[in-house]
Structure 1
C-alpha cells in the first residue's frame, strides 16, 4: 500500500512493520513446525 512506503517508494515505513512481521511469521511457520 502506498501509505506504508517511505518517500523513496522502495522501503516500508514504520506503520508497515506489524503487517510485514505478520506476513513473514505466516510464511515461516510451516518451516518451523516441519519435522526433520
Structure 2
C-alpha cells in the first residue's frame, strides 16, 4: 500500500514532464512564426 501511494505522484510528474515541453515548444513555435510574419 505504501509503494502504491508513492506511485501516484510519480505518474502525475511523468505526465507533466511530457506535456510541459510540448507546450513550451508550441509557444516557441508561435513566437517564431509571429517574428517570421513581421
TM-score by length of 1: 0.45
The structure whose RCO (Cα within 8 Å, separation 6+) is larger is 1
- Asked which structure has the greater CA Rg, the reply is 2
